Amino acid sequence: MKIEYYYSVASPYAYMGISRFQELVKKYSLEVVEKPFDLVGKVFPETGGVPVPKRHPARQKYRLLEIERFGKKLSLKINKQPKFFPPADPHKAALFTIATIMNGENLNFGKEVLTKLWADEQDISQDSVLEDICKKMNINFIDLKKQAESQDIKHIYDLNSQEAIDKGVFGAPSFILNNELFWGQDRLDFLEDKIKSI
């Protein structure tokens, strides 16, 4: 069973959902097509989304409350206002993640990036942070960096973003199973219901 997984490596909701999604993947032996995409730069402008700093103060305030609530509910370490959000370069970590996907590594690098940002108070725009992830995962940083900076990987990033728009994705994380969209880490129960019905 194949699931398309669209997400931003800077999304708190992707961070909150990734461990539970991995559990579903393992439980049901799912095939995941992992697609990091440009949420703020490409998808938001096409689908009516607004970057966090430009949202009305009431929406910003409630977003922080929800992050705190879900963190407690999920017993998850999360800083609702991390020092390095939004990232200075929101694309670099996504390109590194796509490179690892092309090398056969699925879900784990993106999870590590999200954890660095939302739990470990680190700047995912910095090479040193990405290098730490590579060391943890036994990946050659120099080789991965070269690959991540290639036009091929940038093209995949653009394609992921356009595919997301074409398929009705407007937020992260989003999951598509049998052409049905599930948006948000709080929709994983519905996704599992769908999996069990097939």
Q: What is the CATH number of the domain that holds 6?
A: 3.40.30.10
- pTM comes to 0.96
User: Which tokens in the block code for residue 153?
Assistant: 């990987």
Task: Work out the pLDDT band at 90, boundaries 50, 70, 90.
Answer: confident
Distance CA(191)–CA(177), nearest Å, equals 8
Distance CA(95)–CA(105), nearest Å, equals 13
Report the number of distinct structural domains present in the chain: 1
Q: List pLDDT tens digits, range 101-111.
A: 999 999 999 99
User: Which tokens in the block code for residue 109?
Assistant: 């690098």
Task: Work out the pLDDT band at 84, boundaries 50, 70, 90.
Answer: very high
Query: Domain range holding 66?
Result: 2-197
Average pLDDT over residues 75-91: 95
Q: List pLDDT tens digits, range 132-170.
A: 999 999 999 999 999 999 999 999 999 999 999 999 999
